[in-house]
Amino acid sequence: MLVVGLDLGTQSVKAVVCDDTLAVRGQGAVPVTTSRPAPDAAEQDPRAWEAAVGPAIAKALAAAHAQPA
């Protein structure tokens, strides 16, 4: 069995594929942008994270040589 873990961060969405021993089988990341509407402000659009999740998982699955179920 394989499991996917996600990290939605300020610079990228990262995905990792692990097997049932928790050994990392593959990783993938997709960058997301941060807007700066004011000098001391930073904003991120959750839709950017949403759009990056699928491609990050696809990259991790490809690196693990696994097919989605």
pLDDT digits (tens, 9 = 90+) for 7-45: 999 899 999 999 999 999 999 999 999 999 999 999 999
Judge whether 25 lies within some domain.
Answer: yes
Judge whether 68 lies within some domain.
Answer: no
Q: Give the separation between CA 57 and CA 26, rounded to whole angstroms.
A: 9
Judge whether 54 lies within some domain.
Answer: yes
Contact criterion met (CB below 8 Å) for 56 and 5: no
- Structurally, the chain folds into a number of domains equal to 1
Q: Tell me: pLDDT of 4 over 80.
A: yes
Judge whether 69 lies within some domain.
Answer: no
Q: Give the separation between CA 12 and CA 29, rounded to whole angstroms.
A: 6
pLDDT of residue 65: 95
Q: Which domain holds residue 31?
A: 2-63
Cβ neighbours of residue 40 closer than 8 Å, sequence gap 6 or more = none
What is the pTM assigned to this prediction?
A: 0.87
Q: Tell me: pLDDT of 68 over 80.
A: no
Q: Give the separation between CA 25 and CA 61, rounded to whole angstroms.
A: 8
Judge whether 51 lies within some domain.
Answer: yes
